[in-house]
Chains A and B, each alone.
Chain A
Amino acid sequence: MSGHHPEPMSEVEARARALESLLYEKGLLTPSAVDAVVNAFEHEIGPLNGAKVVARAWVDPEYRARLQSNAAAAIAELGFAGTQGEHMVAVENTPEVHNVVVCTLCSCYPWPVLGLPPKWYKDLAYRSRVVLEPRAVLKEFGTELPDEVDVRVWDSSAEIRYLVIPERPAGTEDMTEEQLAGLVTRDSMIGVAPALVPDRR
C-alpha cells in the first residue's frame, strides 16, 4: 500500500509517524531496515513454512524425532529461523492427545513458522476462554473431540513458542511431501483444527 492519505491522520497514526521520523533522525534505525521487516512478514514469512515442517515430520521419522528433541534446530534445517523462533517446542497430536496453543498475556507466536497471528489469536476472548474451556472453544472452530481425548493447552511465553504437529490424515499414504504440506493449515498448527482431508475425486 502507498503512503498516500486522502483523509486526515488519526492521533495514533500521527504518533507512529512521529516516532518513526525521530528514530531515523537520531540514527537509531534506517527506513530500509524497517522496510525489510515489513516486507518479509507481508510476503515471505507465513504458515507455509510451518506446513513444510509438518509435512517433513509426517514423511520422515528421523526428522520427526529431531523436531521433538530440538524443534528450533530441526526447523532451522529447512531454513526457517529468526525472531520469536529461538526457543521452539513441537507438540504432537495423537489419537489420545490434542494440543492447542495460546498466549494468555499478549500474542507470543512462532513467527518464523507461522508468520503473524490471526486476529482472533490476539483477542481477549480466545486468550482467556481457551484455557478455561478448551473443548467449547475448539467446538466453535468446528473441532469436536471425543471425551477420552486429553486436551492440552500450551501457554506461550517470552521464552517458549509452540508448534502443533497435527495428525496426518488417513488416506494420504500416496501423497508427496509437497502435496501433504497443502493439507497443513495455519489453524491446524495452532491446534484449533485438524489438518485438511484430501479431496476425493
Chain B
Amino acid sequence: MEPTLVINDMTEAADAPPRSNGELVFEAPWQGRVFGIAVALQERQAIGWNDFRDRLVQAITEGETGGEAYYESWLKALDSILVDSDHIDAAELEQRTHDYLNGERDEIF
C-alpha cells in the first residue's frame, strides 16, 4: 500500500536512477563538489565543523524565506567561513565567479 503523502516532495522522484535504498545523492555535479570541499576542509582541520554548521543553519534559515536550494546554503556557509578566516579573498572570489560566468574560465574539476 502506498502511503498518502501530504508533505511536499516527500516521495522519491519517479525518474531518479534506481537505487535499492536511497535516492540520487547529488542533483548536479557542483553540489557534490561543494559538499566534498566542506568535508575535505574539515578533515584537514582548515575549518571547524561546529562553526560551519552554525553558518549553515543561518544560511538555511535565510534561504527558507528566499527560496534557496539546499546546497546553495552549503556554498554560502563555505564562502563566509573561508572569507572570515582569510583563506579566500572576497573580491578575488567575485572576480573569479565573473570569469566563469563570462566563459573566460571553464575548467571544471
Interface residues in chain A, defined as those with a beta carbon under 8 Å from any beta carbon in chain B? 1, 3, 5, 8-9, 11-24, 26, 28-29, 31, 33-38, 41-42, 46-48, 51, 83, 105-108, 115-116, 118-120, 122-126, 129, 137, 139-143, 158, 185-186
Contact indicator B30/A38 (Cβ below 8 Å): no
Given contacts A18-B97, A38-B36, contact A29 B44 (CB under 8 A): yes
Complex contacts, A122 vs chain B, CB 8 Å: 70
Query: Which of chain A's residues has its CB closest to B83's CB?
Result: A19
Q: Is the CB of B109 within 8 A of A51?
A: no
Known: A42-B25, A106-B57. A123 touches B7 (CB 8 A): yes
Q: Is the CB of B9 within 8 A of A119?
A: yes
Tell me the nearest residue of chain A to B64, going by C-beta: A124
B32 x A38 contact (CB < 8 A): yes
**Chain B positions near chain A (C-beta within 8 angstroms):** 1-10, 12, 20-23, 25-26, 28-30, 32-37, 39-44, 46, 49-50, 53, 56-57, 60-61, 64, 69-70, 72, 75, 78-79, 82, 87-88, 92-93, 96-101, 105-109
Task: Say what secondary structure dominates the interface of chain A.
Answer: helix
Residues of B within 8 A of A3 (CB): 29, 108-109
Q: For A22, what are the chain B residues with a Cβ–Cβ distance below 8 Å? A: 88, 92-93, 96
Q: Which residues of A contact B41 (CB under 8 A)?
A: 23, 28-29
How far apart sit A41 and B32, CA to CA, in the bound complex (Å)? 9
Task: Assess whether B100 is in contact with A14, with CB atoms less than 8 Å apart.
Answer: yes
A173-B33 Cα distance, complex, nearest whole Å:
44
Q: List 5 A-B contacts (CB under 8 A).
A: A33-B36, A41-B25, A42-B26, A140-B4, A141-B10
Min CB distance B43 to A, Å, is: 7
Q: Closest CB of chain A to B78's CB: distance in Å?
A: 7
**Shortest CB–CB separation between residue B45 and chain A, in angstroms?**
11
Contact of A21 among B10, B25, B64, B96 (CB under 8 A): B96
CB distance from B82 to the nearest CB of A (A): 7
Known: A19-B79, A20-B37, A37-B39. 4 other contacts (CB 8 A): A15-B97, A18-B99, A22-B88, A140-B6
Q: In the assembled complex, how far is the CB of residue A51 from the closest CB belonging to chain B, in whole angstroms?
A: 7
Residues of B within 8 A of A41 (CB): 25, 32, 35-36
A120 with B21, Cβ < 8 A, contacts A5-B108, A14-B100, A29-B44 known: no
Is B50 in contact with A158, judged by CB distance below 8 angstroms?
A: yes
Residues of B close to A107: CB separation below 8 A: 56, 60, 70
CB distance from A176 to the nearest CB of B (A): 18
